[in-house]
Structure 1
Amino acid sequence: MVRTTERELYGSILRDRQTVLILGVTLTGMLGSVLSPALPGIADALNVSDGRVGLLVSFFKVPSILVIPVAAWFADVYGRRTVLVPSLFVFGCSGAVMFLLDSFPALLAFAFVMGIGAAAIFPVTVTLLGDNHDGAANSAAQGLRVGIVGLGTMIVPAATGYLASVRWNVPFLLYLVAIPVAAFTYLVLDETIERAERSGSVTRLIERYGLAMRTELKDTNVRILILGGFTRGFVRYALLTFIPLFAVRILDASLVEAGSLLSLRGIGYVFVSPLAGLVVARTSRKLALGSSLLISAVTLTLIPFSDGLVVLGGSYSRIRSATPYSTQL
C-alpha cells in the first residue's frame, strides 16, 4: 500500500506541467558544469598557465555571493518568473558568446556575466517547487530535483570532455540550450506570488528581510552552517578546478577521461543523497556530518598521491559520496 501511494505521489508530481518545467530548468542550470572539464583545453589553446585558467571557475562563481540575496529579494517582490527568465537568458547568451572568443580576459569577463545569470537559477527552482507543492509532495519534488542535479552532474562533464576533444571552444555551444528554455519558461511558467507593486509593500518587505537576516545571524548554529557551507563550496570548486588539470597534466588523461572523472560526482547525488536522511535518522546529525567531513578530509589528502585514473576516480567519488550528509543539518 505504501509503495502504491508513493508511486501515485510521484506520478501526480510528474504529471504536473509546471513541475516538469521546473525540473527541466534545473537540468539546464547544470550547464554550469561545462567550465571545469574544458579547462585543460582552454589553457592549451590560449596559451594560459594552469594557475590562471582556474580563474574561469572563480569568475563564474563569485557573482553568486552578491547576486543570490538580491535575486531572492527580487523574486519575492516582483515574482519568480520575473527573475528566472532573464537569468536563463543571460546565462545562455553569455555562455554561448564564449564560443566566439579567443582572448582569455574576454572569457573571464563573460564567465562573470554568466555567473550573474546562473546565480539565481537553482534558488528560484527550489522556491518554485515549494510554492507548487506542500508536505510530502514538496519533499518528493525536491528529491526529484536532487536526482535531476545528479543526472546533470553525470552527463554534462562527460559530454564536455568529448566536445572539448573536438575543439576547445565547442563545449560553449551547449549554453545555447538555455535560450529556448528561457523562452518556454516565459510562455508556460505560472507566477506563484502576487507582485508587490506599491512602494509601501516593497519597503516593508525590505525591512522584514533586514530584520530576519539580523535575527538569524545572531544564532550561533546559523553562523556555523554559513561557515560550513562556505568551506564545502570552497573545497568543491577547488576540486573541480584541480581534478581535470591534474588528470591531464600528471596522469596523461585525455579530455574525455577527465570529463568522465568529474561525472563521478553525480554518484553522490543519485545514489547516496536518498540515503542521507536514513543514515541521519539512525545515527545523529553530528555523527553523520563529522564522519562525512572526516572521509572527505582523508581522501583530499590522498588525492595528490594518486598514480592512476582509477585511484583518482575512486578518491573523488568517495568525497562526493560523503558530501550529501553535510547538508542534513
Structure 2
Amino acid sequence: METLTASSSWQLLHQEMQRRWPVTPDELDAIVRYALLPAGKMIRPIMTLHCAAAVGGDPEPVLPAALALEYVHVATLVHDDIIDNDDVRRGRASVPAAYGVPNAIIAGDQLIFDAFAAITGSQHAGLPAGGVVAAVSALAEAGAALCRGQSLESRLAGDLSVGVEPYLEVARLKTGALFRAACQVGAALGGADPATIGALADYGEQLGIAFQIRDDLLSYTEQPDLIGKSTTSDLSNGRATLPVLLAWAASSPDGRTALTGALRDGAASQAAVTLVADAVRATTALERSYALADEYAGRAHRQLAVLAPSASTDVLAAVPGWATARRW
C-alpha cells in the first residue's frame, strides 16, 4: 500500500464502507447504510489506520477493524438521538426520525455486533491472534465506558453546581474511551509493544476529551446549518456543557438562578437559548474552554514521542489541531 495521507485514508475507508454496505432491499441493512453513509469525518478509523502504520504495521489488513470504530461511533450517535429525541443528524433526518425508534435501536445494536465481527475477522487477513484479542478487549472496554458515561451524564442533568471535573469524566468516558480504543486497536494490530500501545491509548483518550470540549463549543461558534445537528439538544436535555458550567461559576447569584432555570426549561425555548448564549459570551467561558481543549490536545501530542518519524506519525500529530480548531 502506498504511503497514506489523511485524505487518502478517508477515501480508502469510504470505498471499503461502500463495498461492505451496498444498496440493498434488505430493510435492516438499508437502515444501517443510511446511518453510515454519507460518511462523516471518520477521525477514529483514520487514527486506527495511522496508529497501525506508525508502529510499523501494514494498514491494509487493518482496514476492516478500523471501520469497526466507525460502526461503534455511529451506533452511539443513533442511540444518542433516541435518548435525546433529536430529529437531525449530519444535516438530514436522524435514524430514529427517518425509520422509527424500534428500528433505530436494532440498527444501533447491529452496528455494535458488526464491529466485533470486523475485528475478529482481521485474523483471516493474517494479523496476529494476540493482537486481535487485544483489539477486541480494547473495544469491549470502550463500550463499557461509553455506557457508564451516558449513565453519569444522565445523573448530572440539570445540575450546574457540580463543577468541571464531572463534566471531564463524562467526556473521558463518552468520547475519550472510543478515541483511546481506536488507537489501541491500530497499535495492537500493527504489532506494537505494550508500552507503545499504552502511550497511544493515552494519546487517544486525551485527544477525545479535547474533541468533546470543542464539539460542545460549536453551539456558540458555528451556524446551525454548518454543524449538521441540533444546536439546542444539550440545553433541551439539561446537559451542562463546559462553557455553560464556566459561565455559571462566573455569574452572580441571580445569573446562576437564571441559568439553572434555562437548563431545566426542558424545551430549549428561544428565551432560554438566548439567555444561556448571552451568559456564555458575557464571561470568559469560551476562551477558558478553548484553553482547556488546547491543554488536552497538548497532552495528547506529547504521547507521540514514542513513535519514530513517519508520514503516519505526522498525521497523528496533526489530529489534535483538527480537534481543537476554532473553525471546522
- TM-score, normalised on structure 2? 0.33
Greater relative contact order (Cα < 8 A, sep 6+): 1
